[in-house]
Structure formats: structure tokens, C-alpha cells
Amino acid sequence: MKKLLSTVFLAGLLTVLLHTAVFAGEATVDTSTADKGYVTATFTGVEGLPLRVQVEKGSESYNFPPASETVTIPLIFGAGDYKIMLFEGAGGNQYRPVSSGAITELSVPAIDENALYTVSIQQINYAASTTAIPALKNLMAGQTTPIDQATAVYNDIVTTFSYDVELAAKVGAGQAAGYVPVIDTVYSEKKGICYGYSAVFGGALRSQGIPTRMVQGYIPELPGTFHAWNEVLIDGKWVATDLTIDAEAYKAGAEYQLARDRSSAQVVRIF
């Protein structure tokens, strides 16, 4: 829950080389799923190089370092005209456009939010899970409605997870730039920061086809602290839930519940 918007969630501004660098890698972007709210980029010839994706729509943008050479890029700003730029490392904190396929521009007239918020993305990478998601699927077995499935996962996380103070300190000190939670790791250790709690919960529900958002921003309970929580689509309405806050309430013997009011939150980004 530490505030480090630039290094963890937005990953900072790029320093880009546009002159006499030698371009090594290439990339392709598959836009066939754009109407579902995401596209897929595949990098080639970039083994060992740090990578970065930047997504722009008008004045809005976000960027992140892909964890692999194939990455699903969510179109989180809704319908409209997008520019997707792909970079490879050029030493230090500098990046250069890949030699081929560096910029993809596309117009998206409409987006299926149900598809957008059920796909596996880097921030909620349930497709890479081999232990946590199967275990959580078993936990949800027999639960036939989205609210019951969400409640089963919520109760498991809230009553078993502990806040990772050490990781939070590293993030706050800038020592974990680009941190992205690995769902299997967070779940096996039963420990994480808000980003990890949100990723595990979101991944479990998305894997069952339940649209679930990861919301990032600021909440009244934690003034000045950048935070992550979730929203789940229940009976056609987005229901906010905050597992990090509720896990602390559980440990303190205080009251907590899945649904909470987040109307006063300052939302920065929704994945």
C-alpha cells in the first residue's frame, strides 16, 4: 500500500533513444481481439533485453515492463483511438523502439467489458498460475453464483493472508521498481501488499469468467498512500471490495464485509 505510483503501477517515464542505436528486436501486435478490450504483443530477437510497453489514448497513457516476450495489453481507456509503442532496453534506464513493429495505431469503436475484465493480463496473470488458481477453483467448487464464488475467495484471503511489511518498505524506498505480483508466490506465502491481494482475488474470479477489476488510487482510510482494491460484477453492478483493509480488520477483531463503499475514492487507474 506504499505510495510509489511511478515505479510500481505506472513504471515511470521512458528515456528513449531515437538516434544511432543498433535496433536488435522486432515485435508484432495482434489486434484481432481489440473489440474484447485487449491486444497481444510478441517480441522476437530481444532475449536478455529489458522490454517496455507504452499505451496511449489521447492524453491518457500507461506503461509497464513485460514479464515475457508475449504480453497481453489491456485497452483500459475504453473505446477510441489507441497508439501502442514497444521498446527494448538500450542500457541503463534508456530504451529504444524495436526495429520493426514499434508503433501500432488502432481505432476501437466498442469494447466488451466482460471480456476485458476476464482476460489474463500481466497485472492479474492467472494464466501463469499452476498452483494457486487450481486451489482456488477447488475452493469455489459447489458455489454456483458469482457472489458465492467471490465470497469463498474473499474469506480465504482475508482470514489467511498477512501484509508484507518488508516488501512494502522496499516498494516505498524504490527498491522494487516494476514490481508485479506472481499469483502463485503470493498465495503460497499467504503474504503480500495490496497489489498482491488484488491480483490473487482478481485472478481467481477472472479464471471463472467473473468480470473483476483491479482498481488503483487513493482511499480515505489511507490518505496519501497509493492503494489497490477490486470491483466485481455482481448482478450487473460493480461491487467494490478491499481485501487488504479487511484482512487487517479480521486480525484486529473488527467488523468487515465483502461489499464496501468506494464512492469517495480517488481512482487513478482500472485494470
Query: Domain 126-270, what fold?
Result: C8orf32 fold (3.10.620)
SS (H, E, C) 95-131: EEECCECCEEEEEECCCCHHHHCCCCECCECHHHCCC
pLDDT value of position 24: 60
Range 5-111: architecture per CATH: Sandwich (2.60)
| Residue 19 buriedness (CB in 10 A; 0-12 / 13-18 / 19+) | exposed
CB 237 within 8 A of CB 213: no
Output the nine-digit C-alpha cell for 231.
470491483
pLDDT value of position 38: 97
Domain chopping of the chain, boundaries: 5-111, 126-270
Predicted TM-score (pTM) of the model is 0.90
The rounded distance, in Å, linking the Cα atoms of 126 and 134 is 10
Output the nine-digit C-alpha cell for 152.
469463498
Along the 271 residues of the chain, how does pLDDT read in single tens digits? 544 433 333 334 445 444 334 456 889 999 999 999 999 999 998 778 888 999 999 999 999 888 888 999 999 999 999 999 999 888 878 899 998 889 999 999 999 999 999 999 999 999 999 999 999 999 999 999 999 999 999 999 999 999 999 999 998 888 877 789 999 999 999 999 999 999 999 999 999 999 999 999 999 999 999 999 999 999 999 999 999 999 999 999 999 999 999 999 999 999 9
pLDDT value of position 1: 53
Length of the chain: 271
The rounded distance, in Å, linking the Cα atoms of 218 and 194 is 12
The rounded distance, in Å, linking the Cα atoms of 172 and 1 is 9
Half-sphere exposure of residue 23, counting CA atoms within 13 Å on the CB side?
18
3-class DSSP assignment, residue 238: strand
The rounded distance, in Å, linking the Cα atoms of 157 and 199 is 11
